[in-house]
Amino acid sequence: MDRRRLVMPSLCVSSPINQRVYIMNRFPRQTAMLAIAVFGSALFTFALFGSARLMAGDKTDESTKVTATVTLPKELASFTDRTLELRLYEYDPLLADVGADLVEKISKDPFSHSEGKATELTIEIGAKGKVKPRRRYYLTTFVLDGDSRTHLGEKDGKRGLCQVISDGHPRKVKIVVRSVR
C-alpha cells in the first residue's frame, strides 16, 4: 500500500480543493506570504485608482437634495383642501436613544386629488443641507387634513422606511401614496 495514502488520506481524492488544503497545511509560511501579497496588490490597486479619481476632480454631491416623485393612484378616493407634507430627516444609526433631526420640511397647501385620474407631483427637498459623515437620511410623506394624517407615502409602494442619500440609497425616489387605515 502506498505510504502517502496512509499519512494523507486527502490525497486519495484528486480534487483541486483537497490539494490546496494540503499545500496550505504543509507550507504555512508560503501561504501567509501569498495572502499578504494578494492583499497588498489589491490595496495598491485601490489606492492607485482612488487617487486618480481624486486628481480628476470627480466630486460627489455634498448636498442633501432629494427629488421625490409623489404619485396618487387613480383608485384613491377624491379629496380637496388637504396639505401634502414631505419631511427629510437625518439620524445617527449608532445612537439608539436619540431622535432624528429635521433637515427640511415642505408643505403644499391646498392639495387635492380626483378619483379616476392619477395625480403626480415632483418635489425637490433638502437642497440647502450638507451631507454629514456617519449619518443616514430618510423621507416621510403625508397628506394631512388639519392635524390628522389621512394618507401616507411609501417608497415604490412598499412599506418601510424611505431611506435616501446614504449607504447606496438613491437621491431620486418614487413615492406612492395610500390611504391610512
- Condensed to tens digits (0 to 9), the pLDDT of residues 144-168 reads 999 999 999 999 888 988 999 988 8
Between CA 101 and CA 137 the distance in angstroms is: 9
What is the reported pLDDT for 120? 93
- DSSP for residue 166: S
- Condensed to tens digits (0 to 9), the pLDDT of residues 122-141 reads 999 999 989 998 999 999 99
Domain spans, the chain: 3-55, 66-179
Q: Is the pTM of this model over 0.75?
A: no
CB 178 within 8 A of CB 151: yes
**Topology adopted by domain 66-179:** Immunoglobulin-like (2.60.40)
Q: Using pLDDT thresholds of 50, 70 and 90, give the confidence band for residue 21.
A: low
Q: What pairs with residue 148 in β-bridges?
A: 145
